[in-house]
A and B are shown apart, each in its own frame.
Chain A
Amino acid sequence: MSNSTNSGPYNYTYIFKYIIIGDMGVGKSCLLHQFTEKKFMADCPHTIGVEFGTRIIEVSGQKIKLQIWDTAGQERFRAVTRSYYRGAAGALMVYDITRRSTYNHLSSWLTDARSLTHPNTVIYLIGNKGDLEAQRDVSYEEAKQFADENGLLFLEASAKTGQNVEEAFLETAKKIYQNILDGSLDLNAAETGVQPKQPMPKPVSNEAKPSDSQCSC
Chain B
Amino acid sequence: MLEEYISDADLKKARENYGTTENPNETQQFEFALNLIRSKHRAEIEEGLYLFQNVFARTKDENIKRDTLYYMAIGQTKLSNYEQALKFLQSILNVQPTNEQVRDLYVEVNKKMKRDGLIGLGIVGSAAAVGLVGIIGLGAALLSKK
Contacts and interface: CB of A to CB of B under 8 A. Distances in A.
Interface string B42-82: 00000000000000000000011011001100000000000
Given A48-B67, A51-B101, A83 B27 contact: no
Nearest to A75: B27
Interface in B6-26: 6, 14
A80 B38 contact: yes
Contacts of B1: 49-50
Contact of A76 (B31, B70, B99): B31
Given A79-B14, A79-B34, A83-B6, A47 B101 contact: yes
**Interface size grouping (class) on chain A:** 10 to 19
Contacts, number: 36
Nearest to A72: B67
The majority secondary structure among interface residues of chain B is helix
A45 interface: yes
A48 B27 CA distance: 14
A77 B70 CA distance: 13
B101 A48 contact: yes
B30 A48 contact: no
A79 B35 contact: yes
A46 interface: yes
Contact of B34 (A46, A47, A51, A80): A80
B27 to A, nearest CB: 5
Contacts of B96: 45
A47 B35 CA distance: 18
Contacts of B71: 48-49
Most chain-B CB neighbours within 10 Å: which of A46, A51, A76, A79?
Answer: A76
A149 B4 CA distance: 36
A48 B70 contact: yes
Interface in A46-80: 46-51, 74-80
A76 B67 contact: yes
Interface in A18-52: 45-51
Contacts of B67: 48-49, 76
**List of 5 A-B pairs having minimum Cβ-Cβ separation, nearest first:** A48-B70, A76-B27, A76-B30, A45-B99, A48-B67
Interface of A: 45-51, 74-80, 83
25 contacts: A45-B96, A45-B99, A46-B63, A47-B101, A48-B71, A48-B101, A49-B1, A49-B70, A49-B71, A50-B1, A74-B63, A75-B27, A76-B27, A76-B30, A76-B31, A76-B34, A76-B64, A76-B67, A77-B34, A78-B31, A79-B14, A79-B31, A79-B35, A80-B34, A83-B4
Given A45-B101, A49-B34, 10 more contacts: A45-B96, A48-B101, A48-B102, A49-B67, A50-B1, A51-B101, A74-B63, A76-B31, A77-B34, A83-B6
Interface of B: 1, 4, 6, 14, 27, 30-31, 34-35, 38, 63-64, 66-67, 70-71, 96, 99, 101-102
